[in-house]
């Protein structure tokens, strides 16, 4: 999974913590 601030997609489990911010395109 991806860490905070890492570029991400809209996949629910793409980020280790929290979810992907669709506006910034980064993990929150």
Mean pLDDT of the chain: 86
* Res 7 pLDDT > 90: yes
Higher pLDDT residue, 15 or 22? 15
Q: Supply the pTM of this predicted model.
A: 0.57
Contact assessment for residue 2 and residue 28, using Cβ atoms and an 8 Å cutoff? no
In the structure, what pLDDT confidence band is assigned to residue 21 with cuts at 50, 70 and 90? confident
CB-based contacts of 8, cutoff 8 Å, min separation 6: 2, 14, 15, 20, 21, 25, 26, 27
Which residues are paired to 27 by β-bridges? 20
Q: How far apart are CA 24 and CA 1, in angstroms?
A: 18
User: How far is Cα 14 from Cα 2, in angstroms, rounded to an integer?
Assistant: 6
- What is the rounded distance in angstroms from the CA atom of residue 19 to the CA atom of residue 28? 6
Percent of the chain past pLDDT 70, that is, above it, reads 96
Taking the domains of the chain in order of start, what are their residue ranges? 1-27
The model's confidence at residue 3, banded by pLDDT at 50, 70 and 90, is very high
């Amino acid at each position: 999974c991806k860490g905070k601030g890492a570029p991400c997609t809209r996949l629910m489990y793409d980020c280790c913590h929290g979810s992907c911010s669709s506006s910034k395109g980064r993990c929150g």
